Amino acid sequence: MRPHSTRPHSMRLHSLRRHALAFALCLLAAAPAAARIAVEDLYRGQAITTGQMPENRGPAFARTFVDVLVKVSGDPALMEDPRVEKEAAQAASYVRAFRYRDRLEGKPIHDEQGTRDRPHDLTVDFDPPKIDAFLESLGRKPWDGNRPVLAVLLAVRIGGNDYVLAADAERGRDQRDAFAAASRRIGVPVVIPAEAVLAEGSVTAAALRGHGPSDPDAVARAAGADHPLVGTMDFSDADHGWVVTWRLRSGGRETTWQVRGVNFDEAFRNGLRGSARVLSGNGHP
């Protein structure tokens, strides 16, 4: 272990594809229906730490160890597995390399302790054979790194506002950023369609909250993705957070699940973790 520095079936479909914005694990160009991409850095995790002190490094190793097990296997149930919790205490023995980046790099130091209390990004690279061997001991195996791309069709309602998340809209910048972060962390590539793609596919908030759109698979293909991940997201004072219902269409089947009382970062992680579990063959969310 060492630290280190650092094509179209019609003109209409062609037009739609040009409007798709892809982000997160990579920038996805216009693509045919089979848009699987190779996910990079499956064995890499990242955490925020205070300073670079060894006493903060251990817990960060443990958190990234669990993240990597979930990302490699596609099974978020491992987060609640007591065997994983126990082994996380030994996460350092799985680390191949790590590095820090000062999140306030370039800004003056204003405290007597110097960099001790400054927030850092800790990037941890784990040893693939060791991670794979531990997954095997849990009855799991690595999920294929060439993974399907999901098109996110999401209606967001807060107060009197109800809108569809779009790649090029003024609203939803923070949500787009949160989806990108969740995509990197969980290893599920996503694309958020642009407004033109959504309009051509008749994707509206009302449609997403009803029985539409009529053909979400076509919208996903137009956006350069493999499957649609359809969601409705409502802020609830009673639940002290967002109530989100997800529907994943894949292989001619639809899987539905819900999460309540979370912030939108956790809502998006829940959507992608549930999708990963289904697509990797590990079960229902």
For residue 120, list its beta bridge partners: 49, 102
Query: C-alpha distances in angstroms, 60 versus 145, 162, 181, 244?
Result: 25, 38, 17, 29
Q: Render each residue's pLDDT in the chain as its tens digit; 285 residues.
A: 544 433 333 333 333 333 333 343 333 433 444 568 899 899 999 999 988 888 889 999 999 999 999 999 999 999 999 999 999 999 999 999 999 988 776 566 655 545 557 889 999 999 999 999 999 999 999 999 999 999 999 999 998 899 999 999 999 999 999 999 999 999 999 999 999 999 999 999 999 999 778 899 999 999 999 999 999 999 999 999 999 999 998 888 999 999 999 999 999 999 999 999 999 999 999
Q: Does residue 128 have a cis peptide bond before it, meaning omega lies within 30 degrees of 0?
A: no
Topology, domain 11-39+146-279: Rossmann fold (3.40.50)
How far is residue 186's CA from residue 24's CA, in Å, rounded to a whole number?
A: 11
How many other C-beta atoms can be found within 10 angstroms of the C-beta atom of residue 34?
9
